[in-house]
Structure 1
Amino acid sequence: MISELTEMLYKIDKNTNIRLVLLKGAGKSFSAGADLNWMKRMAHYNWNENFQDSLALASLLSALHGLTQPIIAVVQGSAYGGGVGLIAACDFAIASNKAKFCLSEVKLGLIPAVISPYVVRAMGERASKRYFISAETFDAYKAFELGLVSEVVPHSDLDTVVENMVQQIIANGPIAIAEAKKLIDKVSLGDINEEMIRDTAQKIADLRSSPEGKEGVSAFLEKRRPVWPDKESIVTDLAEVSDDELE
């Protein structure tokens, strides 16, 4: 399942008609932890097999995080182990008030190594230390407090809230959205220096001069909705997140 999801993300990234991606789980859980059959196989892996297996998950997380289109995790139920990493690798997450979360790896004598770059950036170093080493289960409101999810809604309202957010996002300029994602990654890790000052000034100048930027400003001044060039509003749901191999 991991390789299939990764390949699907690569294809989505190249499809300029897809405006937004939703990452969902099917059933009661978003991702309930490692699959028993996979754990039985893993118990007999040698070092190289474990390394290659972990690289596959790392590639999936990188594809999620680096996707050109915005990607929202829709968390309707429990997210354990690698499932928390999937959520953290998305741009943001909307969770049901019934959702539960757990970084459970240390219970198995393991660590959440591959997902850690995304989880630590989402939750912060201090909170990550607590939940990495305690393996406590925490609820959606705690996940919101920690920054893992951006909104918690009543379970019955989840689909409606997500749809409203989808419409809010796809009304905006697709190129501007993609550039905004790149901008956040760059400025969040860099120093505020002359290079960054010039780079950010260049980026806004480029967009102001682009067909999309000109259309957006014209639409605002003319009090009408913008018509973004050569774009259809297609929203894609990724397939159910499998519990297999997500530890």
Structure 2
Amino acid sequence: MGTDRLNGSLYTSIDNKVATVEFGHPASNSFPGVLLERLTNEINLLSEHKDVSVILLKSEGDKTFCAGASFDELIAISNKEEGMLFFSGFAKLINAMRSCSKLIIGRIQGKSVGGGVGLIAACDYALAAESASVKLSELSIGIGPFVIAPVVKHKIGVSGLAELTLDPTQWKNAYWAKEKGLFARVFETQKDLDKEVDIFTSHLASYNPLALTAVKKSLWEGTDHWDTFLLQQAETSGTLVLSEFTKKALERFKK
């Protein structure tokens, strides 16, 4: 599918049982609602695809992996319903990734903020370049990472979530993320990263697909309630974003 400057792009290719899904947006690979919905639908479709054993998730370019949800759409929220709709986008994507029957491998080439960190945590396994630092900036604008908090905590524990959440202006480098378990491996260059991504996904795709699906299920044991829980979290964020503190903070960021 083609690129739309407003709604971004999404491309999928399938080769030797590996489905490569690449998303992109001119604003640092951020997600407007339309693109979030497209990626969610794509994950759901691939979950049922008989010729796919593994999904590789990546983003365009060589700088930012994902800047989270669209800042323009965040600023435009004017009521609780719009807020709920905005924040439920990532909730639905995380749930789609969690319940997908295929293992999802993340190729993380650059920085990630907010929802982008949640996206990484929702991958079953993530390989990263040294340039892949992470940050949760939500508290600095008067909200919190409520929608992605459960999946980040699931991946790196309460202490890791607290470290990211309570220090919203500081980047954590790729080796910190590896130490906490967000990344499985870190590579010096993107060339090294891509070489290993190819090898790793090829090996995975050669294994018994029934076994891969069973492993996937075991990795997400105890998260079945997230279908409703993450939407409740979205409601919390949708309410906070309307606060006077957040409106003023967003105006400062905009300027």
**Fold match by TM threshold 0.5:** yes
Q: Which residue of structure 1 lines up, in the alignment, with residue 178 of structure 2?
A: 144
CA distance 1:15–1:33, shift in 2 (3 Å): closer
CA distance in 1, matches of 2:140, 2:80: 21
Q: Which residue of structure 1 lines up, in the alignment, with residue 208 of structure 2?
A: 173
SS of structure 2 residue aligned to 1:112: coil
* Residue correspondences, number: 186
Task: Return 5+ residue gaps in structure 1 as ranges.
Answer: 190-247
- Distance apart, 1:154 and its partner CA: 1.7
CA distance in 1, matches of 2:218, 2:155: 17
CA distance in 1, matches of 2:108, 2:215: 24
Give identity over the alignment, percent. Answer: 32
Q: 2:98–2:220: 8 Å Cα contact kept in structure 1?
A: no
Q: Which residue of structure 1 lines up, in the alignment, with residue 39 of structure 2?
A: 5
Query: Which aligned pairs between 1:26-175 and structure 2 lie closer than 5 A?
Result: 26-27=60-61, 28-42=63-77, 44=78, 46-135=79-168, 136-155=170-189, 156-175=191-210
Q: 2:139–2:166: 8 Å Cα contact kept in structure 1?
A: yes
CA distance 1:184–1:33, shift in 2 (3 Å): closer
Q: Which residue of structure 1 lines up, in the alignment, with residue 55 of structure 2?
A: 21
- Distance apart, 1:157 and its partner CA: 0.6
- Distance apart, 1:182 and its partner CA: 1.2
CA distance in 2, matches of 1:175, 1:132: 37
Task: Return 5+ residue gaps in structure 2 as ranges.
Answer: 1-34, 224-255
Provide Cα deviations, 1:44-79, integer angstroms capped at 9, x if missing partner.
2x1122112222220111101121111011100011
Amino acid of the residue matched to residue 158 of structure 2?
E
- Distance apart, 1:40 and its partner CA: 2.7
CA distance in 2, matches of 1:13, 1:34: 24
CA distance in 2, matches of 1:158, 1:185: 26
CA distance in 1, matches of 2:83, 2:69: 14
SS of structure 1 residue aligned to 2:186: strand
Q: What's the TM-score, normalizing by structure 1?
A: 0.72
CA distance in 1, matches of 2:88, 2:67: 21
CA distance in 1, matches of 2:172, 2:76: 29
Larger Rg belongs to: 1
CA distance in 2, matches of 1:9, 1:52: 20
CA distance in 2, matches of 1:180, 1:39: 36
CA distance in 2, matches of 1:157, 1:132: 31
Query: Which aligned pairs between 1:207-218 and structure 2 lie closer than 5 A?
Result: none
